[in-house]
Chains A and B, each alone.
Chain A
């Protein structure tokens, strides 16, 4: 196929309209007509749809926040039975509303999200009234388990992401309260907490991507996978940065402190490299997502900066000549970043062009 034909078959963009206008081939009226034709300017039906989605989503958020605040107030003068009745009445109301609207509608999905959040509120109110003495992780575990049917029925990415959040909180609290393992503490044994969180996120992402690749209709949007991948990569980048600092700096003769064990360092490096490699392969050849590729390039950039600056620190400490430190290392670091960012940009732009042509 000739280059010219590829452009013609590609999606029309705002840039095309601008080019036509600048060349004097169309006037401003034509520009507006073309903008409406290619969907740049929404028609009344899309306006209504947008407003409906926007208002319903904001309304749901307001209602959820209102109900949570209502019970957070712990209204002393309200009888116990009334507290329980009100929460459960809201719960039933949410269910009836969702059932009435039909499961495929947005209102129904938002109604189920509202109901799923109310589950947690009901447990909180119950705990508030009876002071059961249970650990807080138990509330989150029960909440996550009971929320599963709602997420399953709603087929809503928002609700699944909320479920994932509750699971993460539950696991984190369990490790803190039962095993005494905190998150991101300067203690070798705490790597386990991060490994488990990464494993949960990675597992969720893999299942999500498999189901998406199988063509599950409601999973076709890119944003849920992007959100999960971003959370995953933030944790992995923090982990690798800590490991790099540990490898370069902590073992130094002036400090002599190790933040992570030998095994943990191997696991951390393996986890990070595995994640980066998997992202580059899968999102380049299979799922085609420039966002993930950009984010992964960014993470690699951060890791390299951490390494460079740690190394600089070691060099400075090693020389121990503060009157004449090897400050030129800053220029080397700047040069490395320049080359890295340019290569990443060049590669990403090439991908963008190539994928635009294929589309």
Chain B
């Protein structure tokens, strides 16, 4: 990615305020701490997950041994979960700035999440589909509470991810899955667009500092598209002897294509070129891509996430988008029902078209530069 020249905070303030204005000191002293990089968050998650798994192993063993004669009672798990959540909330409020307690609270809350889910699921008939749906909704309620109360960014991200993804398991037990999951990808894609493009508007509301929600929505979208692609792939369909068109994967491709068009329009509008050839060209390209890749929605999703990430200066999103795109391009060519020779010709043809497009864009850029000069 072509990096922009770094500007200092004083240069930024000079953009807004005259030198004589005395307000500069205030925002700087209160400037919030930047988020840790993704790999530090990953380290934190890994530690918490392993510790939570070990604690779960210990508790489950005790319950299995039947120390509490009520080990089969759902109430045990449910109470355990609820008490742990409550303890977690108290702990976060009591020790927001103590890293050890903060990490401990994260671990306990993960254990709590497990037991609350288990308790709710066990309280219904295990094999009855509705129980899972209610369990999912109740867990979503707990996590929503955690999202607003807890202050740890990672825990907020996990809570947001649980809340926004909960529709997926809820839908999985419905008979309408083949249709509804496509609708869900469209909803996620539009929510992702809104959350990223209108983020400054959220900052002025009580949703301030809820940046984890933006990332959670993106990951929920990637998850939903992965599920669509998995169930809609020819291999799985063949295995389960489901009718090939039952999942209507093209609906997801169309939904994400729509979100990509809206997103591109917003970006072009930012640069005052939302009308004319740029918009037409973008819409035509997205439509062509959609038509060519209708059975692999992951390709347009990858492009959508890359566009969004670059437009908002998020390298993490660009990275995930590229990884996602590469995986689905591979899947696209793997699933084409044709010979290796035709596949190779298709690959070389696509490569040549892309090279031509890059060359044409370069020409456009030079022309624009010459006009500016």
Contact = CB atoms under 8 A, between A and B. Distances in A.
Interface of A: 4, 7-23, 25-26, 28, 30-35, 37-56, 58-63, 65-70, 72-73, 75, 290-291, 294-295, 297-298, 301, 305, 327-328, 330-331, 333-335, 337-342, 344-346, 348-349, 352-353, 356
Contact of A331 (B58, B313, B343): B58
B28 interface: yes
A341 B106 CA distance: 12
Interface of B is mostly: helix
B361 A51 contact: yes
A62 B347 contact: yes
A50 B204 CA distance: 32
A32 B199 CA distance: 11
Contacts of B312: 40-41
A37 B7 contact: yes
B46 interface: yes
Interface in B39-80: 39-40, 42-44, 46-48, 50-52, 54-55, 57-58, 61-62
A341 B34 contact: no
Contacts of A50: 1-2, 310
B149 interface: no
B47 A51 contact: no
B341 A75 contact: yes
A59 B12 CA distance: 38
Given A55-B357, A338-B103, A342-B100, A65 B347 contact: yes
A18 B271 contact: no
Given A65-B347, A345-B103, A348-B40, 17 more contacts: A21-B203, A22-B208, A39-B5, A40-B312, A42-B310, A42-B311, A47-B310, A58-B354, A59-B350, A70-B341, A291-B37, A301-B46, A327-B62, A334-B54, A342-B47, A342-B102, A352-B40
A344 B339 CA distance: 52
23 contacts: A11-B7, A12-B11, A12-B12, A31-B200, A44-B273, A47-B271, A52-B365, A56-B354, A58-B354, A59-B355, A63-B347, A65-B344, A73-B339, A338-B104, A341-B47, A341-B51, A342-B100, A342-B103, A346-B99, A348-B36, A352-B37, A352-B40, A356-B34
B4 A10 contact: no
Contacts of B341: 69-70, 73, 75
A247 to B, nearest CB: 21
B348 A63 contact: yes
A62 B326 CA distance: 11
Interface of B: 1-13, 15-16, 23-37, 39-40, 42-44, 46-48, 50-52, 54-55, 57-58, 61-62, 99-100, 102-104, 107, 200-201, 203-204, 208-209, 270-271, 273, 306, 310-313, 333, 339-341, 343-352, 354-355, 357-358, 361-362, 364-365, 368-369
B55 A330 contact: yes
Contacts of A12: 6-9, 11-12
Contacts of A349: 36, 40, 99
A62 B350 contact: yes
Contact of B27 (A19, A30, A39, A344): A19
A330 B58 contact: yes
Contacts of B57: 327, 330
A9 B8 contact: yes
A298 B43 contact: yes
Nearest to A308: B54
Contact of A46 (B4, B100, B208, B361): B4
A16 to B, nearest CB: 5
Contacts of B27: 16, 19-20, 23, 25
Contacts of B32: 15, 18-19
Given A50-B1, A58-B354, A341-B48, A39 B313 contact: yes
Contact of B358 (A39, A44, A56): A56
A297 B100 CA distance: 16
Contacts of B343: 69
B358 A52 contact: yes
Contacts of B204: 21-22, 28
A53 to B, nearest CB: 7
Interface of A is mostly: helix
Given A7-B31, A50-B310, A55-B357, A20 B16 contact: yes
A42 B358 CA distance: 18
A339 B100 contact: yes
A89 to B, nearest CB: 13
A30 B107 contact: no
A67 B348 contact: yes
Contacts of A13: 34
A83 to B, nearest CB: 13
A60 B26 CA distance: 51
Contacts of B25: 4
Contacts of A327: 57-58, 61-62
Given A52-B362, A290-B40, A349-B40, A8 B9 contact: yes
B152 to A, nearest CB: 11
Contacts of A333: 51, 54
Contacts of A21: 200, 203-204
A338 B34 contact: no
B61 A334 contact: no
Nearest to A70: B344
Contact of B351 (A60, A75, A352): A60
A19 B16 CA distance: 14
Contacts of A22: 203-204, 208
Contacts of B47: 301, 337-338, 340-342, 344-345
Contacts of A298: 42-43, 46
B2 A345 contact: no
B271 A39 contact: no
A41 to B, nearest CB: 7
A341 B40 contact: no
B58 A44 contact: no
A73 B340 contact: yes
A346 B27 CA distance: 26
Q: Which of B13, B44, B51 has the most CB of A within 10 A?
A: B51
Contacts of B351: 58-63, 66
B288 to A, nearest CB: 15
